[in-house]
Amino acid sequence: MVPGITGGVDVVVRSHAIEEALAKYRAGWSLDQFFYTNAELFDYERRTWLARQWFLIGHSSEVPQTGSYIVREVLAESLIVVRTSPDTVKGFFNVCRHRGSRICSDDGLAAAFTCPYHAWSYGIDGRLRSAAALMDGIDKAELGLKTVQLREIGGLLFCTLDPNTPNLDSASFLPGLEYQGVPSARIAARRQYPTAANWKLVMENFHECYHCLPAHPQYSGVMGHVKRYAMDAAGPAAAWNSEVDAWARTQAIADFPQSVVETAEADWSYTEITRFPIGGGRRTQSEDGQPVAPLMGRYTRYDGGVATFGVPPFSFFFLLNDHAVLFQFLPRATEFTDVTVTWLVDAASVPDAVDVERMVWLWDVTTLQDKAIIEANAAGVRSRAYEPGPFSKLEQWGVPLITQYIDDLRSQ
């Protein structure tokens, strides 16, 4: 148990049906229907494996000053995330220590949190400050709000429900976030794409580009790397590698802190920042390739690059010269996943200098397409005719997530 952190994860006994499904898993094939549709399994995951993951839950600008707080739901838990000092953000379960009422319902700014039921009042540090007519012998010091692990890293807010989840290692991505100006950025747009499908169908989709040519004409038109990730052909892949090499030699900014450039050898695992050109001379991910906002952070010119990284398995980031895109995936129910996309721009950019519709165009149209194909996938997986099918050569980047999940469940 991490000292000072409470609200831990239950010890959960799992059913024979879950054991059987785990034993039947066949690597390289999609999962049995059970994994995508079984409510008992989802409840088990929610209380164990999912509770141990780090989730992106916001940006620092959402809690700009001491006392600013946001209320967010993670795995059916309501959390209060509050800035307790200029340098500290804390997370609490939104559960009153008197009889359990929700305390906050909306984001806000407060000097204290007062429960609407019987008016117990907590400091923004979670300590119980006042409670009328308490019985003798009750120690208020033992009745503070329960804390949740919360990290503010480079302007991003992450949480995990399990107090024993190891700390997030940010060494590989923090310098890139700082270069990009993410800590001081402002949110220019946020859109929700609630998807009626189990989280595994959503994440399998996110990790492969086999579907890019049939399902994403706009993305395939913008992103040069589909030549490599969406085609099983040597010619386009070689052409893409040459374009990347030429860009790295002649165009790419030299001082981005992670200099790794996507090459034929890259594994697209998202665990380190990979930087590569959008392609075709585009300067950003807009329809015409032209800028949509002022340069962010420490960029001094447009080089048309995009840096990508993730805090797997549920948070992924795309850093362009003039904006940054944050992807949040949050499993909400057995067959329901919240997908939130947030677009950041430089802190100094005035609203008139940002063309929001042109900025959101690519990922908005692409994520709507993904929602549609994932929901169609989920509908078919519910059929009596469904059985696992073989992943292709172009779907291999998602397989490690599923095998890791299976290995973890088998050993927990």
Least separation in angstroms between CB 115 and ligand FES: 3
Determine which residue in the list 33, 78, 101, 241 makes contact with ligand FES, applying CB under 6 A. Answer: 101
Task: List, as one string, the DSSP characters of 170-208.
Answer: -TTTHHHHHHHTGGG-EEEEEEE--BSS-HHHHHHHHT-
Nearest to 411 by CA among 10, 19, 8, 17: 19
Scan residues 56-75 and list those touching ligand FES (CB under 6 A).
Answer: none
Cβ 308 vs Cβ 52: under 8 Å: no
Nearer to ligand FES, 117 or 412 (CB): 117
The two beta strands, 112-114 and 121-123, are antiparallel
Quick one: which segment of 98-106, 238-246, 290-298, 358-366 binds ligand FES (CB under 6 A)?
98-106
370 binds, among ligand FES, Fe ion, none (CB under 5 to 8 A by kind): Fe ion
Quick one: which segment of 18-26, 95-103, 230-238, 317-325 binds ligand FES (CB under 6 A)?
95-103
- Residue tagged 């990730």 (tokens): 229
Q: Does 98 bind ligand FES (CB under 6 A)?
A: yes
CA-only gyration radius of the chain, Å? 23
Rounded to whole angstroms, the Cα distance separating 64 from 15 reads: 45
Q: Does 99 bind ligand FES (CB under 6 A)?
A: yes
Least separation in angstroms between CB 103 and ligand FES: 7
Rounded to whole angstroms, the Cα distance separating 135 from 364 reads: 55
Nearer to ligand FES, 7 or 398 (CB): 7
Scan residues 362-381 and list those touching Fe ion (CB under 5 A).
Answer: 370
Rounded to whole angstroms, the Cα distance separating 190 from 326 reads: 9
Question: How long, in residues, is the chain?
Answer: 412
Nearer to ligand FES, 102 or 191 (CB): 102
Least separation in angstroms between CB 93 and ligand FES: 13
Nearer to Fe ion, 243 or 370 (CB): 370
Q: Does 118 bind ligand FES (CB under 6 A)?
A: yes
Least separation in angstroms between CB 389 and Fe ion: 18
Nearer to ligand FES, 99 or 410 (CB): 99
Q: Is residue 368 exposed (0-12), middle (13-18) or buried (19+ Cβ within 10 Å)?
A: exposed
Tell me how many residues contact ligand FES (CB under 6 A).
Answer: 8
Nearer to ligand FES, 100 or 235 (CB): 100
99 binds, among Fe ion, ligand FES, none (CB under 5 to 8 A by kind): ligand FES
Q: Does 303 bind Fe ion (CB under 5 A)?
A: no
Q: Check residue 33 and report its DSSP letter.
A: H
Q: Does 204 bind Fe ion (CB under 5 A)?
A: no
Q: Does 376 bind ligand FES (CB under 6 A)?
A: no
Nearer to Fe ion, 370 or 395 (CB): 370
76 three-state secondary structure:
coil
Check residue 217 and give left, alpha or beta (phi > 0: left; psi -120 to 50: alpha).
alpha
Cβ 329 vs Cβ 195: under 8 Å: no
Rounded to whole angstroms, the Cα distance separating 148 from 307 reads: 30
Tell me how many residues contact Fe ion (CB under 5 A).
Answer: 1
115 binds, among Fe ion, ligand FES, none (CB under 5 to 8 A by kind): ligand FES
- Residues with Cβ within 8 Å of residue 1, at least 6 apart in sequence: 8, 163, 164
Rounded to whole angstroms, the Cα distance separating 179 from 175 reads: 6
Cβ 339 vs Cβ 367: under 8 Å: yes
Q: Does 206 bind ligand FES (CB under 6 A)?
A: no
Residues forming the site for Fe ion (CB under 5 A) = 370
Residues forming the site for ligand FES (CB under 6 A) = 96, 98-99, 101, 115, 117-118, 120
